[in-house]
Structure 1
C-alpha cells in the first residue's frame, strides 16, 4: 500500500494465544525451542490509530515506550494511538507480542508502509524463543514452529491446522500471580539444565505422529493425550524455576480435579499462571467450569470458556 492510498484511520484487533509447550529446549539437532500453540477467541488487544502531527498515546506508559521504539526502528511517522482493550498482562496469553504487532502493523497500515508482522516482531524484540504469537497474529489456528537456528530472525512456522469449531478451552485464571517475564524469565532459562534429548525426541514423535494427525482428523482423545504428555514433560522441566509443575497452586488444584475426571488435554500456558483444559464441546466445558466453581468455593480463581480462533488479526480501515 502506498502512502497515497493510506487510510484516514485504522483499528486493529490482535488475538490472544495459548502457548502449549516447547519441543526441544536443549538444541540437540542445532535448533532450540520449537513450540506449539493455539489462537483463542475472547481475548485480544485492540488499537485505534489516526494520523497526527505529533505522537499522542492514550494508554499505559509502556505503550508509549513501545510506540517510540518501533517508530525509531522502522522509520514510521507519528500517530494518535488509543488502546481500547488489552490481553491480560503476564498471564501466559501473549500480551507483549500482540501489543507490539498491533502497534507496528497499525502504524504501517496507517502510513501505507509495506511492513510484515515478522519485520515488526524483530524490531520490537519479540519472537526470541517462540514464534507462536507471530503466527497467531498472521494466521490463527493451531500452530507449530521450528524453533531457532543460527540464522533465524524469527522461528519459522512449520504447521498450521484449523481447530474443530465445537472444541472449547476452559481457561483458569489466578489474578494473584504473574508468570515469569523479562530478566527473571531470561535468568530462569540460563539456570535450567539442558533438556534431555530423549524427551525432546519423544515430544516431536508424539506431535508429528499422534497430535497433528489427530487434529487433522478431529480425534479429540488422541489430540488431548498428546497435548497432556507434552505439558507434563514441560511442566516437570520448568518446576525448579516456577515452584512446581504449575506456577499457581490454586490453578494446580483445579487442574488436578479435572484430571481426576478423566480429562487429559490440560496444562499451563507459557509461564502461567493461566491454566487450561480442552473439551470436545461447549456444554462439557461449561459443566466442568460450574463444578469447579462450586467445589473450590471462594478460592479467587476465575473460569472462562473460549473457542479457538482459526484466523489471525482483524483490521478495520
Structure 2
C-alpha cells in the first residue's frame, strides 16, 4: 500500500534548565503549528528510492531499523530547513511513519526517533508529531550528561510532563528573515554543550517560576496576552544562556525584529524560536491582519527581507492516510 504523512512545524520557546547544578537538564516547551507543513509519501520498493537528499538518508535508516527491504519516498512539501521551526525532526519522523505504514508496520516514533538522531535534548518535536498542542517535556536526569556527544540511538526521548490544547482562536505570527541558517548538527551540539557547561543555575529558577506561575495558568485559562508575555520572557531568559554562542540574547537580526514587534498592539509577546532566525509573535484571530502588517514593518525596521505569515496552532498529531496496494 502507499502512505501519505503530513505534519506541521513547531515553535520552540526554550528550556527550563541548562545548568548542571539542578537534578534535571533541559526540559523544553513549545507549540505545534498547522503551517508550514511537511508532506511525505511512500510506497514499497525493493530498495530505497528518493530524490530528496535528507529524506533519502532518513528513509535508508528507517528501512534498516524497521527491517524492510526498501521504499520509494517522495517529499511533496517541506518545512524551511534550519530556521527554528523543527524541520529536521518533522521530516525524519514523517519519513519513518510513511515507510512503516507502507509496509504495514507500527512506526513507534517515540521509540525509534533516537535511531534517526532525533529527540535527544528536546522532546517538543516528537510530542508535536504525536499529538500536537502545547508541550512541556521533562528533560533528562542531569547525571546522564556527558561532555562528548552520545552515539545515535543511545538516548530516549524526554517524556511529556504537560500537554494542553491551544485555544482555536489563537494565532502565531511567523517572521523568517533572510538571514544565515540557525545552528544544526555538530555545530548545534557543540554550542549547546558549551552553553550547558557555563550555564547560570539562577536563570533556571527564574524560568521555572515563569513557566509554572505564568505560562501554564495563562494557557489553561485561555489568556492569550498573558501567555504571549510569559513565553517571550522564557525566551529572553534562555537567550542569556546562549549570548556567547549566538552573538546576543537573540541572534542578529532577530533582536531588531523582536524589538519592533514588542511595540505593536497586535502582538502579545515575541521571541526567537530555537536557534532562529525565525521570530514568533503571539496574537489571535481578531488581530491577525494587523499582526501581518506588524511583521512586515519589523522586517523593514531591521533592514532585511523575509517571509511573514500568521498560522494557527495544531492540536492534533501527524495525519496519516493509506491507499491501495502500492508498487513492487
1:183-216 deviations in Å (ceiling 9; x for gaps): 1111212322432222212211221222111111
1:100 equivalent among 67, 92, 95: 92
Query: Is 1:52 equivalent to 2:56 in the alignment?
Result: no
1:210-266 deviations in Å (ceiling 9; x for gaps): 2111111101222222212111101122111111122231x3222111212364521
Work out the CA distance in 2 between the residues paired with 1:121 and 1:290: 38
Work out the CA distance in 2 between the residues paired with 1:312 and 1:134: 10
Gap change, CA 1:276 and 1:123, over 3 Å in 2: same
What RMSD over aligned residues (CA atoms) do the two structures have, in Å? 1.8
Work out the CA distance in 1 between the residues paired with 2:104 and 2:297: 52
Work out the CA distance in 2 between the residues paired with 1:261 and 1:83: 37
Counterpart for residue 176 of structure 1: 179
Counterpart for residue 40 of structure 1: 33
Displacement of 1:93 in angstroms is 0.7
The 8 Å contact of residues 257 and 298 in structure 2, kept in 1 or not, is answered as no
107-116 vs 79-88, which moves further: 107-116
The 8 Å contact of residues 86 and 95 in structure 1, kept in 2 or not, is answered as yes
Counterpart for residue 118 of structure 1: 110
TM-score normalised by length of structure 2:
0.88
Number of positions where the alignment pairs a residue of Structure 1 with one of Structure 2:
307
1:183-194 matches, within 5 Å, as 183-192=186-195, 193-194=197-198
1:290-309 deviations in Å (ceiling 9; x for gaps): 14425754731221100111
Work out the CA distance in 2 between the residues paired with 1:283 and 1:139: 26
Aligned residue for 2:173, secondary structure, equals: strand
Counterpart for residue 308 of structure 2: 303
1:290 equivalent among 290, 293, 302: 293
1:80 equivalent among 72, 83, 102: 72
Counterpart for residue 148 of structure 2: none
Work out the CA distance in 1 between the residues paired with 2:180 and 2:107: 36
Unpaired segments ≥5 residues, structure 2: 145-154, 323-328
Unpaired segments ≥5 residues, structure 1: 1-7
1:231-242 matches, within 5 Å, as 231-242=235-246
Counterpart for residue 220 of structure 1: 224
1:247 equivalent among 242, 246, 251: 251
1:272-287 matches, within 5 Å, as 272-279=276-283, 281-287=284-290
1:45-73 deviations in Å (ceiling 9; x for gaps): 111111222321132x2221221122223
